[in-house]
Structure 1
Amino acid sequence: MQSQDVAPRPAPAAGSASDPVVDVEQAEAALVEHYPRLVRLAYLVLPPGLGRSRRVLTAHALVQRALPRGKASASVIPAQSAGREGDPGYAFVRLQVVRAALEAGRPLKRLAWPKRAQLPPLLPQVWGLKLFPRSGGADELALDQRLSALTGPARAACVLRGLEKLPDGDVRKVLTAAGVADVDAALKEADSESAQYALLDSPEFDACSLQVRPTDLMRRRQHTKAALAAAAAVAVCGALLGMPGDGWGPDGAAAPAYAQNPAAQAALDPALLVKVPAAAWESSARTDFSVWPARGDLTGDSALLRRALAVWARPGGTVQVSATPGTPSGGPSGPPQLLYAGTVDNARVVILYDGLRIVRYAEPRDSTKGAALDFARVDGADQAQASAVVLGRADGNIRYLTAPWVTKAAERDLLKPGSGAMALPLTDGTTAPMAGPVQSGACTSWNVLQLTDASGTRLLTDLGELVPARLTTGRPGSVKDAAGAQGLRAWAPYACSLGAMRSSGVRSVNAWAYATQPLPDASGRADWVCTRAETWQGGGERVLAQFRTPGGTYGAVAAKGENVPACGAKDPQVLAGVLWKSGGGSWYLLAAGSRGTASITATGGVKGSAQGNLLAVKAEQGAQAGLKGTLVDGRAVNGLR
């Protein structure tokens, strides 16, 4: 449970006698809740000379070693975020991460024992693979190069200013506590990058959303034969580079083929690609990706299609490969279906479908270098979930390829349900570019795709994957699309919480208002809403219980769960609680269960019980409580945490 303090308290000065004592549990809770941010912070402060793969592993190792051994005093330094402000556990863990990252960048001394952070991490380790974040644009690359030229303390100052939004006074305190000798010099050196702080939230620096490549695969598989195979590979590559034209063979950025399997070779033949007639969907019993026709201006470009198939089968070392969770990334077992081949902005794009996966191949318009390959699992997609696929993203905008049964497309801001939708022109199923959701910084808008066909209108949101997620509302088991006026109003306060579900293989997200609770002290009525993300792999579902007070613009996450049946069609029961401060200054434990909850009991730091699905008990600020409920059929239900 999280406290929602409607009257923020001033934090004590760093290093004062009023500093709270941080125990292991408090620090661990902060580390788990803010783990991706802490890893990003460590990755940015670590010296770039380590290489991207080692920086990723070292960043994770430093964060995982940041917990105190017992108890330690931590300064409460404001973190400029509702989830971290005034949290001594987060302030302590952040300080340990900054200190360790700075130590890792210091050179080893001949007559001194190296510190733990200066040595390669024992754990985590990944053998045979290289891990690195997704590549960003030219601005991110330029920023990374400029950061690499700064000293470690200056990089830390940039990150604390730009990522953590700390004022210079608090940056001084963190750097001083981390052992920086000349803080003034670090701040002055960091001034040169103040205009680029927004880029620190880019996926380029997200060390938790990673891409994977093999390292010495051939050498690990063979010993003596490896040398011969490597020599043969060099000879083949040399021959390909000596060919006329752009210097690449027919397979483009694909790795060399060492075996000739007839079935595998057939899957790489562009002439055998399945191309569905344009009107097939109108008479088909199925309405999914299998009846999409082949579209785009390059469906007849055999060389492009050959390269796409070859890279799918065996991506070379320069190919950027990504896959949603639970999606196999192996080659096709037979000739796949062609959905699209055409020019999208500055890239040539091919989209293929093999019955289980959507595969997107993209290469620059003027070269086969810099190719990218993306996989998304789509088995079991119905008409609503097979409505659109991402063609490309550029400069914060997204282009979609829509299903042949889609008649209209529009863009709307989910945070502004009354603002109306802006029409998106469709050209052979391709939308004009639309602004994507704001994924970093303050959440001031959340743009979604609105599609209309003969069966109705639905909303889809981009969560950083090939297939957008469908948005619905209502009680689990009887949900409906959120495109109506009621659905739009229901989603508006909770749209920003969708950012927590990015890159998880999500197929749909439902928002269900499961309870309304009268607030103590005659403060009005609060809403309890459960948002649940269903995934394509059938596991890893994410559930958020959110609490919104009267007049509140946004909902606050009160509890969360992962891989739990709560709030789902199989078990719609949900129970959650929050510490709330009334306008009169009193603290309460508020809890609500879904319909069918017979009683609720609070345990731990707050004692109390109530009949029915609502509970309101006076509590102390910062109290830790557990919740247990009993359903009308006698079953027990635990509260989400």
Structure 2
Amino acid sequence: MEQQATAPRPLPSPVDVEQAEAALIEHYPRLVRLGYLVLPPSLGRNRRVLTAHALAQRALPRNRVVAGEQSGLPVPAPRGPDGSPADPGYAYVRLRVLRAALEAGRPRGRWQLPRPGQLPPLLPQVWGLRLFPRSGGADELALDQALASLSGPGRAAYVLRALELPADRDVRQVLAAAGVEDPGAAVLEADGLRAPAGSRDASLLESMEFDPCSLQARPTDLMRRRQHTRAALAALAAAVVCGILLGLPGDGWGPDGAAAPPYAENAAAQQALDPAKLTKAAPGAWKTADRPGFASWPARGDRLGDRELLHRALAVWARPGRSVQVTATPGTPSGPAAGPPQLLYAGEVGQAAVVLLHDGLRVVRYAESKSGDAGAAALDFARTDAADADTATAVVVGRADNNVRYLTAPWVDGVSVRDLLKPGEAPIPLRRGADGVTDPTPSPAPTSDCHGWPALQMGDRLVTDLGELTPARLTTGAPAAPRDVSGDRARAGWAHTACHLQTMRGQGVRAVNAWPYAAQQLPGGAGSAEWTCARAETWRGAGSRVLGLFQVSGARAAAPSTVVARAEDAAACGSRDPHVLAGVLWKSAAGTWYALAAAGGGDVRSVTASGGVRGSAPGDRLAVPAEAGAQAELSALLADGRRLSTLR
């Protein structure tokens, strides 16, 4: 067994900038792939691609250097046929890329400046497009998820051993030179990674799934980009008007806290700023409402009579100053109320004084320091039009230390917390105060490292926090009749789906439905697999996100399903068009590859594969032999003669 201690080696010969540049140009794709794989997955694929290219391009030395001089440790170079170092220049630039990629994933102190890679790169830059590697098969997706569970040094050790240096001694030397405190622990962590079966033939890291030089391009959110452009122009015009008004004499604007100066005197605007004009629902209005929603919530909290707090909240909403932190879910206007809004809550939550307001279209949360210092105020907007008893169950009133507190609807009898990744465990009761505010409860971690997913159980309803004011409702079943998540089968399905909710954070999601639309027997008697369509509906009606998921039976309860297809702003798998088609390349235990596909939504006559895989089968499922890495075009024939294509 190889010893953990690293034997000393002679330092490589000096490397000058010309030699390093030649190595960089010759091995550029290899270096960019290394940086892409080691960078934190939380950056997202588009930013990881651009950052990996930036790290490789910044790897050139400024003058003549020695490859090991910065760390004092030997840096193994790629080996030639005789086992001797082949290219010291490559070893040096590889070390520079690896060190920068590892630094990008290290946490930084509160007052510490960001390191290269922790901020979007200055160059290269791509405007108006999202770039990401081409999608691979199920094995590549599974390996990508497994790599995301490792630490930065663990990922680096796994990648170096798979692509660069087979000997653990050399891997530990490179990690030590790159600044890893415990290279041996990183190698042991990489040993514990369970690679998919497809990696037995060749390294899956060499596939196109992990090639940031062979890219697909898609447009950014066009509607959001247009809104941002308009908002920037409006902000510029407002700044000009403010500058003019500030230069005019006047009597000031009164105790408005963090609000900006008034633009002009307007009778309707002044009414919206008067706490006495705020509307309040009767305590029992929700019991007789035709459609219980936020409009039927009674006003609650221990500071309902604090006119100064209410006035500051209304003034900041009307004209937030520069110090106010303003957030809004996509598609939610952040302008002032057209008239006096409805008061939902005014009280103290932790170290903050909070006011919740509702104007029929939006729920607005104002928060300031409990001491009354409005200089650090926050203003959050969330669109909530057409809310009903199922989607107006709670509003976030406070966040701190990855914990969240909710104000619950008056019709909610009890609240408990359920971990979606542990479907067999009973939910834990969550205490609420007399005003309907819950105790702090953990929020799902905003990273790809998914070890648990807390959700609130309110009677039969299940909701979860996606980083917004209103939690998203979780359902299961066919799109035409989604139902609450109850029963062992529904909870087991959500245990495989929950971690994919991470991709839906901050999108203004109203509800997410996970529909297991097909079960398929795998070839060769290998058991069965389940196909699921997860669709996120937003409050604004546009911007839906659809995922096609594939899960082989026998997996552990918390194992996330494999994403085999995805679509943005599509009607598929929804109430308007319930049809869905997805496919995957699957490798049997005997080493045979198959193209699998399944369609849902009913009235499916046949499923056909063309291109790199050819075959057809009657009904809504397909399984035909294929070659590893084959690219197939799938389609399904519906009873009315229409052709259904895969999610994209």
Same fold (TM over 0.5): yes
- CA shift digits 1:604-637 (9 cap, x unpaired): 2211111111111211211111111101222110
Deviation at 1:170, TM superposition (A): 5.8
Asked whether the equivalents of residues 35 and 56 of structure 2 are also in contact (C-alpha less than 8 Å), the reply is: no
Asked whether the equivalents of residues 281 and 291 of structure 1 are also in contact (C-alpha less than 8 Å), the reply is: yes
Q: Pick the structure with greater CA Rg.
A: 2
Asked whether the equivalents of residues 266 and 272 of structure 1 are also in contact (C-alpha less than 8 Å), the reply is: yes
Asked whether the equivalents of residues 218 and 226 of structure 1 are also in contact (C-alpha less than 8 Å), the reply is: no
- CA shift digits 1:148-173 (9 cap, x unpaired): 4x6789999xx9x9668632696899
For residues 604-623 of structure 1, what are the structure 2 equivalents within 5 Å? 604-623=611-630
Match for residue 267 of structure 1 among 269, 272, 277? 272
Deviation at 1:384, TM superposition (A): 0.7
TM-score under structure 2 normalisation? 0.69
* Unpaired runs of at least 5, structure 2: 1-24, 63-105, 122-147, 165-173, 186-219
In structure 2, C-alpha distance between the alignment counterparts of 1:537 and 1:216, rounded to whole Å: 23
For residues 110-509 of structure 1, what are the structure 2 equivalents within 5 Å? 143=109, 145-148=111-114, 166-167=155-156, 187-188=178-179, 228-232=244-248, 249-366=254-371, 367-427=373-433, 428-452=435-459, 457-509=460-512
What residue number does 2:207 align with?
none
In structure 2, C-alpha distance between the alignment counterparts of 1:338 and 1:174, rounded to whole Å: 60
- CA shift digits 1:129-149 (9 cap, x unpaired): xxxxxxxxxxx996263244x
SS of the residue corresponding to residue 383 of structure 1 reads: coil
Asked whether the equivalents of residues 74 and 92 of structure 1 are also in contact (C-alpha less than 8 Å), the reply is: no
- CA shift digits 1:87-137 (9 cap, x unpaired): x9999765313235779x99xxxxxxxxxxxxxxxxxxxxxxxxxxxxxxx
- CA shift digits 1:172-193 (9 cap, x unpaired): 9999xxxxxxx999844999xx
- CA shift digits 1:469-490 (9 cap, x unpaired): 1111101111111134332122
What residue number does 1:137 align with?
none
Residues 285 and 143 of structure 1: CA distance in aligned 2, closer, same or farther (over 3 Å)? same
In structure 2, C-alpha distance between the alignment counterparts of 1:532 and 1:264, rounded to whole Å: 40
For residues 536-551 of structure 1, what are the structure 2 equivalents within 5 Å? 536-551=539-554
What residue number does 2:94 align with?
none
Residues 215 and 506 of structure 1: CA distance in aligned 2, closer, same or farther (over 3 Å)? closer
Asked whether the equivalents of residues 78 and 166 of structure 1 are also in contact (C-alpha less than 8 Å), the reply is: no
Deviation at 1:505, TM superposition (A): 0.8
- CA shift digits 1:525-583 (9 cap, x unpaired): 00000010111111111110100012123211110011111111111110000111111
SS of the residue corresponding to residue 339 of structure 1 reads: strand
* Unpaired runs of at least 5, structure 1: 1-68, 107-139, 176-182, 195-206, 241-248
In structure 2, C-alpha distance between the alignment counterparts of 1:155 and 1:633, rounded to whole Å: 49
SS of the residue corresponding to residue 323 of structure 2 reads: coil
Residues 100 and 171 of structure 1: CA distance in aligned 2, closer, same or farther (over 3 Å)? farther
What residue number does 2:75 align with?
none
SS of the residue corresponding to residue 353 of structure 2 reads: strand
Residues 396 and 519 of structure 1: CA distance in aligned 2, closer, same or farther (over 3 Å)? same
What residue number does 2:89 align with?
none
The percent identity for this pair of structures is 47
In structure 2, C-alpha distance between the alignment counterparts of 1:581 and 1:538, rounded to whole Å: 39
Match for residue 56 of structure 2 among 91, 99, 114? 99
Residues 417 and 378 of structure 1: CA distance in aligned 2, closer, same or farther (over 3 Å)? same
Asked whether the equivalents of residues 347 and 364 of structure 1 are also in contact (C-alpha less than 8 Å), the reply is: yes
Residues 270 and 512 of structure 1: CA distance in aligned 2, closer, same or farther (over 3 Å)? same
Deviation at 1:493, TM superposition (A): 1.1
In structure 2, C-alpha distance between the alignment counterparts of 1:153 and 1:438, rounded to whole Å: 19
In structure 2, C-alpha distance between the alignment counterparts of 1:82 and 1:558, rounded to whole Å: 23
Tell me which amino acid in the other structure corresponds to 2:547.
L
Asked whether the equivalents of residues 38 and 155 of structure 2 are also in contact (C-alpha less than 8 Å), the reply is: no
Residue 589 of structure 2 is aligned to residue 583 of structure 1:
yes
Residues 83 and 568 of structure 1: CA distance in aligned 2, closer, same or farther (over 3 Å)? farther
Q: Note the aligned Cα RMSD (angstroms).
A: 4.3
TM-score under structure 1 normalisation? 0.70
Bigger mean CA offset, 566-575 vs 621-630: 621-630
SS of the residue corresponding to residue 515 of structure 1 reads: strand
What residue number does 1:516 align with?
519
In structure 2, C-alpha distance between the alignment counterparts of 1:488 and 1:82, rounded to whole Å: 33
What residue number does 2:11 align with?
none
In structure 2, C-alpha distance between the alignment counterparts of 1:142 and 1:256, rounded to whole Å: 37
In structure 2, C-alpha distance between the alignment counterparts of 1:89 and 1:625, rounded to whole Å: 25
Asked whether the equivalents of residues 575 and 639 of structure 1 are also in contact (C-alpha less than 8 Å), the reply is: yes
What residue number does 1:558 align with?
564
Deviation at 1:284, TM superposition (A): 2.8
Asked whether the equivalents of residues 474 and 510 of structure 1 are also in contact (C-alpha less than 8 Å), the reply is: yes
Residues 152 and 611 of structure 1: CA distance in aligned 2, closer, same or farther (over 3 Å)? closer
- CA shift digits 1:583-619 (9 cap, x unpaired): 1111111100113211111122211111111111211
Asked whether the equivalents of residues 567 and 573 of structure 1 are also in contact (C-alpha less than 8 Å), the reply is: yes
Tell me which amino acid in the other structure corresponds to 2:257.
G
